[in-house]
Structure 1
Amino acid sequence: MSFQLNGVPVNEDLRQGSCTGPFTINPFALEKIEVVRGGTALYGAGSPGGIINVITRRGRTEALSVDVTAQTSFNTKHKTATGTTDLYAGAGQRSGIADYYVAASHTDGGRARDAVGDPLLSSGYEAVDVLGSFGLTLPDASELRLVTTFHNENVGRQFYPSGALIPATRIARVVEVAAHPQVDQGLDRNLTATLSYTNPDMLGHAVSVSAFYQNQVIRQRDNFFAAASGDDFFASNRRNDRFGFRSAAVRDYRLGDGASLKISYGFDYTRNALYRFVVDAAANQAVIGVISPEIVLRTFAPFAQGELTLGSVTLTGGARHEWYRGEITDRSYSPTLGDAGVPGRIGTSKLTLLNVGAVYRVTDAIQLYAGFSQGAELSQLGRAARRIRNPATLTPEPATSDQYEVGIRATHGALRFNAAAYYSTSDSAALLQADPVCAGITPICPLIPLRSPQRFHGIEADLAVKLDPRLQLSGVFTLQRGKVFDEGTGRYINYATDVVVPLRVTARADWTPTERLGFGVQISHYGASSFFTPAQAGAGLVDTDATTLTSASARYAIGPVELYIAADNLLNESYVSPNNQAAGSGSFAYYRGAGRRMTLGMAARF
């Protein structure tokens, strides 16, 4: 899945790591979230399951509009050092041919604790976010727009699993560890910018052109403490730069008698560069080791998509072709660094992704649809480049997948319903495994790329119904299964709940007894899994227990000001999340989930 911020990809495509890019925006700055399912021809490698595009606010009112939000949250069992406070302020308007919106926020983040007040893996932090959106409407109804975001986060004290267990339990003991001596150097900084031009009628086409840039810098200053061995201070510097260009032209043709054709085509270019070095934080951050040498990947991609409507039937189809070129640079390269990758051009590759689909409108309120799409996932080039001696042998061939889906969308009065079944298969999925070279030598081995066949299938449904103008009920149902080919046994084995969701049901009720007063309650149930045979369980594969969590909220409006209160894990359940259960009882990651967190806040718009 490609996660984008105003159209700027922020995934760590070249080397999965901290994966913090999607969280480098204050949620109060969001206007809407766009979701496109399936590996469509429009997005290519890095988006095998589609995209999630987060759109930030822009000025839309003729009068100056000001947004202010202040909130604080805390663990109700142990308030000390768990409090997180957010302050947000933004202002914007649209005046004549121009519009603008600017905002800033500050977050003082506390650490997490479970239902009994014990620490959970987390770090304190302080973050500042800045947002700007500036638009200009030109005489031919075209628009020029610049959107930029900036996030700077400084890290603080850590809670970290100690390698020991809480007495009389199989729960991992998480403790407060000593701060890294250079913890003040630690940060997570992300800058994004998008400059776009749209024209609704250029030579009969609706045209859009955009250039985007992302720069993320992470300075990790951690203490990998273990009860048996004590402090283990670690420092690394990571940087990911991305520059790209997108273009698309869309033309509609009216064919008569309820028939129409829409053609879209364009060209994309992306330059993606990443490095991560181990540094001596006390010696001017000198490079002393290599986790990933700097690797640069360039992608060139033309695409075309067609949509033909014949009465109640719409047929779609498209293709995207991608070429890949790149190199390992000589940034901080030294042959004395054993894990360094030798600089030079890497191998080249290309691929074509196809998609087809159909929608049948049974009535104006009911649609049936089916589709086939191909996706591609970049395959951990940063990890593969580590220690490489001949860069030409490193080929950036994405892991492709075939995805099939059928579904129904329906509305009936106050009822809205969607359901879908899907199947996905890949002959060579991009996975990770512990480096066998260090087995038995170090307690934690680096992860290296692994290619292996895998399969997924599942069903999902959502429903919303407005029982009356004041009461709405909604729910989501998800069931997944997945398998990966195991070289050791020569057959497919099930994935655990750290990868798939055995069963998840979420139900929500929203009640507004008056225009000013509103209440919400949500219950999420994660079903138990039964994926593994006794023999597989004996080999360390873990089935997980069911978990049910409840949250609730209330709000009250006084003029332009809204006061609200919310509680996550309302009943303060003590549980281990299904994802952590999959690590196995007594393991490093087998610690409890977050306890009840109460949120108090105020939001106003003037």
Structure 2
Amino acid sequence: MKKAILSAACLGTTMAFGQVKDTLQTQNVDEVVMTASRKKENIKEVPSSITIVGEKQIQSQLTVNSDITSILQYTVPSLGTNSGQTSNTGQTLRGRQVLVLIDGIPQSTPLRNGARDLRSIDPSAIERVEVIKGASAIYGNGADGGIINYITKRNKTDQKISGISQVGFTGQSYGGTLGVRASQLLSGKVNRFDYTLSLAYERTGYMKDADGIYLSPTYSTAKMDNYNGLLKLGYTINDNQRIEASYIGYSSRSDLNLGLSTGKYGIKPTIGDGVGRGLETTPQGTPKNHNIRVSYDNKNLFAGTSLNINLYYQDFKTVYGYSDTFFNGGQSNVLSKKTGARFNFDTQLWNTANSQGEIIYGADILNDQTVQKLEDGRFWTPNMSMTNIAPFVLAKVDLLKKLTLKAGLRYENIKVNVDDFNTLSVIKSDGTFTKSIPVEGGKLTYNALVGNIGVRYNIEPYINLFASFSQAYSINELGRILRTSTSETIKSLETKPIIVNNYELGATGQLSNWLNYELTSYVSTSKLGASFVQSPDRALMIQRSPEIVYGVEGFLHFTPAKWIQFGGSYSWMEGITSLKDDGDYSAKINNSRISAPKVLAYIQARPIPTLSLGVDMLHSFTQNRFNPNVKTGLYSYGEGYVPEYTVFNFKASFEVNNNWRLSLGIENVLNKKYQPAIAWWTARDSEFINAPGRRGTFMVEYKF
């Protein structure tokens, strides 16, 4: 079975879907990518799948919806559709978890995945998003499906001060409160100093479906205050040396006070009933996400060798809504603090007219302290402290300006200290209690050598080929295992790590001056994967079993004239597992990880130089991979039937003059009534919710 799948995966590409869509607005393509090799390089030298979402496209999508999870679902083909809520549960990349970074600082909490890592920064502070698709170990633990790195804005001018001011309003056509949004960007350079300051505030209004009914208050983004601040200071010591320091702060809190009217799965949606519950003592959301980074660059440390050092600190907290499943009820949170350092050396081995070779090497050091508690102080997981020391080496050779070879190794050395704790008493679905038991902590040690190898051959403009093999190493979600423990010691729990092997083959090119294409296929395997499944009492548990995930994705981009462009992408994946570990991959990985096939399409025109008009379409196909229980007629978690849906968004901008711009965006312009995919595949009454109806945003921008 495995061989058959590998031989079938014989088509491919390096994806840059978002990057290509930017061309009409920028008239050139930013070909520099940093995340793939932890250094600046041309995208044509990277033998792996990449999507770059550029600044112009982020701004265009921001006019429609400021939620970064929505922006990504319209710009990254193989990323799952969003939930429309604060949680990014189910928004996997190629059927596996993704590692989220901000300027290389990890935002994900793999020890206890809170599914809030994608919504950790306001898009107004982002210059571009670099998405490395497929397993990767280059930034450490958690990148089973790839990496999403938010690259923040920087100064690009020699002026002492320049900036962009924006004010916007959002609302739906059903009455109720308006949302308001304001952001300010200032940047400049004074002698050898440069700076960037970005501030953003948004107050969202109520969220309603296509019939004007309040959406479910669970994990709601309605009535939410979002704050974001970025301060970046740089000093260029000389032509070779530079030091930079930055702070990024993000906060989102909802004071929505709606009651919950639970619906019926597949029949009646769960809604907000307009009557406040008053049970939540803490506003749900992410009240704090502080990121501090200091970097030093030396382009000529010694002969042919450059150095980059990054020191960082992150302090993160997210809070969930009230739940009566806890004894006496309560709200849970996830708290995480990370301290880390990255050391990169880059030595040029040779550099001639026709070839060059270099070696990148160094080490990463990370301490991650994570815990999940209730707001009243009760521990749901113990305190977990992970220390990761990982040396690495990457060799790169370019021949004849056409052929690029890459190979690398990384040695993961991870130690986790787990405190003693008592599990929480939780109410089961049948009304009985799980008793609290004491669990003895201890130390866990993980070691592994992971690697990657890839080749890219830029034959002619109309066809470039690449093939690659890469691995990722992840600690399974330890916190979730521990909080549901029935054992009195962690030594008897299944805590083995996840090692993913990813294989890709691809083709990309430009067939003419007006047609670009890309196509990629992939297979990822793991001897011991991890998926959420439903236990007999309908609680969630982690299933460990061998896995294979495989799929294809690609896009076409047409520019028949300078004033118009259009195109689209398609992504499809499947996941299978061997529950008995006997090589019989007859079971399927559920829909919580394997997204339905997705088509993205767009058309963008500039009928006159000052006016831009565009329409985006997202079509999610039917997903019917499982059958309900014969006796109960109910689907298990993650196995629900998902019907297809199609959504259209409209966006327009008008440049009044060189300084002023007016923008209008309309999400779900046809006011389509539908449910997001997560509402169906969870197969739960409380999570069967409608998506937002038509919602408009008007923005005024002043640039100086």
Per the normalisation by structure 1, the TM-score is 0.88
Return the alpha-carbon distance in structure 2 between the equivalents of residues 27 and 171 of structure 1: 30
Q: Structure 2: state its 5+ residue gaps.
A: 1-97, 426-434
Which one of 204, 210, 218 corresponds to residue 115 of structure 1? 210
2:316 maps to 216
Q: CA deviation at 1:173?
A: 4.2
Deviation sequence 1:505-547 (CA, Å, 0-9, x none): 1111111112211100112111223434688896724332221
Q: Show the 5 A alignment for 1:38-437.
A: 38-63=134-159, 64-76=161-173, 78-81=174-177, 83-121=178-216, 122=220, 123-159=222-258, 161-165=260-264, 169-176=267-274, 177-180=276-279, 182-183=281-282, 188-203=287-302, 204-220=304-320, 222-224=321-323, 234-254=330-350, 258-280=354-376, 287=377, 289-311=378-400, 312-329=402-419, 339=436, 342=439, 344-386=441-483, 387=485, 389-392=488-491, 397-411=496-510, 412-433=512-533
Post-superposition offset of 1:257 = 7.3
- 1:415–1:464 contact (8 Å) kept in structure 2: yes
Taking a change above 3 Å as real, the CA distance of residues 503 and 531 of structure 1, as seen in their structure-2 partners, is: same
The structure that is strand-richer by fraction is 1
CA shift, 1:35, in A, is 2.1
Aligned Cα root-mean-square deviation (Å):
2.9
Aligned with 1:471 (options 536, 548, 564): 564
1:544-586 per-position Cα deviation (integer Å, ceiling 9, x unaligned):
22211111111111121111111111100111223322234x7
Residue 427 to residue 27, structure 1, CA distance change in 2 (3 Å): same
Tell me if the contact between 2:371 and 2:383 (Cα under 8 Å) persists in the aligned partners: yes
**From 435, 446, 455, the counterpart of 2:548:** 455
Q: Give the aligned residue type for 2:609.
A: E
Distance 1:183 1:347, change over 3 A: closer
Match runs of 1:554-573 below 5 Å = 554-559=652-657, 560-573=659-672
1: CA distance between counterparts of 2:628 and 2:282? 46
How many correspondences in the alignment?
580
Which deviates the most, 365-374 or 37-46?
37-46
Partner of residue 284, structure 1 = none
User: Matches of 2:279 and 2:235 in 1, distance apart?
Assistant: 47
Provide Cα deviations, 1:344-371, integer angstroms capped at 9, x if missing partner: 5312120111111111222145210111
Range moving further from structure 2, 157-166 or 311-320 = 157-166
Identity %: 22
1:248, distance to aligned residue in structure 2 (A): 1.1
Contact persistence 1:298–1:325 (CA under 8 A):
yes
1:522 is aligned to: 616
What whole-Å deviation, never above 9, does each CA across 1:142-198 have from its counterpart, x for those lacking one? 1101121112233212456533349x9443344344133624698621100111111
1:592 to 690, 694, 698: 690
1:72–1:599 contact (8 Å) kept in structure 2: yes
Cα displacement (A) at 1:223: 3.6
Q: Which amino acid aligns with 1:313?
A: L
CA distance in 2, matches of 1:335, 1:48: 29
> Residues 262 and 583 (structure 1 numbering): CA distance in 2 closer, same or farther, change over 3 Å?
same
Instruction: Map 1:463-502; keep pairs closer than 5 Å.
Output: 463-486=556-579, 492-502=586-596
| Partners of 1:528 and 1:546 within 8 A in 2 | yes
Alignment match, 1:13: 110
Contact 2:619 2:644 in 1 (8 A): yes
Q: Say which of 616, 623, 645 aligns to 1:547.
A: 645
Residues 335 and 533 of structure 1, relative CA distance in 2, 3 Å threshold: closer
Alignment partners' CA distance in 2, 1:67 and 1:232: 50
Contact 1:70 1:88 in 2 (8 A): yes
Give yes or no for contact 2:576–2:585 (8 Å, CA) kept in 1. Answer: no
CA apart distance, 1:465: 2.0
Distance 2:586 2:651 in 1: 44
Closer/same/farther in 2, CA of residues 274 and 307 from structure 1, 3 Å limit = same
Q: Given that residues 379 and 422 in structure 2 are in contact (C-alpha distance below 8 angstroms), is that contact kept between their aligned partners in structure 1?
A: no
Deviations 1:362-405 (CA, angstroms, capped at 9, x unpaired)? 21452101111111232111223335633455686420111111
Cα displacement string for residues 211-240 of structure 1 (whole angstroms, at most 9, x for unaligned residues) = 1111012344x34489xxxx9852234310
Q: Does structure 2 conserve the Cα–Cα contact (< 8 Å) formed by 1:180 and 1:233?
A: no
Aligned to 2:479, the other structure's residue is in SS state: helix
SS at match of 1:581: helix
The amino acid of 2:614's aligned partner reads G
Paired position in structure 2 for 1:283: none
For the 8 Å contact 1:341–1:385, the answer to whether it is kept is no
Check conservation: 2:116, 2:318, Cα contact below 8 A.
no
Tell me how far apart the structure 2 counterparts of residues 452 and 406 of structure 1 sit (CA, whole Å).
26
Distance 2:444 2:590 in 1: 35
Whole-angstrom CA distance in 2 between matches of 1:318 and 1:224? 46
Q: Compute the displacement of 1:258 (Å).
A: 2.5
- Provide the C-alpha distance between the structure 1 equivalents of 2:590 and 2:423, rounded to a whole number of angstroms: 41
Tell me, in whole angstroms, the C-alpha distance in 1 between the residues paired with 2:176 and 2:424: 47
Stretch of structure 1 that moved more, 115-124 or 458-467: 115-124
Partner of 2:597: 503
Query: Which amino acid is 2:298 matched to?
Result: N
For the residues of structure 2 that align with 1:268 and 1:186, how far apart are their CA atoms? 31
Any conservation in 2 of the 1:341–1:389 contact (CA below 8 Å)?
yes
- Of residues 207-216 and 394-403 in structure 1, the stretch that sits farther from structure 2 once superposed is 394-403
- SS state of the match for residue 579, structure 1? helix
8 Å CA contact retained: 1:346, 1:395: no
Distance in 2, Cα, partners of 1:49 & 1:520:
31
Between stretches 211-220 and 447-456, larger displacement belongs to 447-456
Secondary structure of the corresponding residue to residue 293 of structure 1: coil
Cα distance in 2 for partners of 1:130, 1:273 equals 24
Q: Match for 2:175: what amino acid?
A: K
Would the aligned equivalents of 2:531 and 2:589 in 1 still touch at CA under 8 Å? no
Within 2, Cα distance between the matches of 1:184 and 1:357?
Answer: 47
| Residues 59, 93 of structure 1: 8 Å contact kept | yes
Match of 2:677 among 578, 582, 585: 578
Distance 2:624 2:374 in 1: 41
Counterpart AA for 1:476: S
Q: Which of 621, 625, 650 pairs up with 1:531?
A: 625
Deviates more, 1:569-578 or 1:378-387: 378-387
Alpha-carbon distance in structure 1 between the residues aligned to 2:399 and 2:261: 64
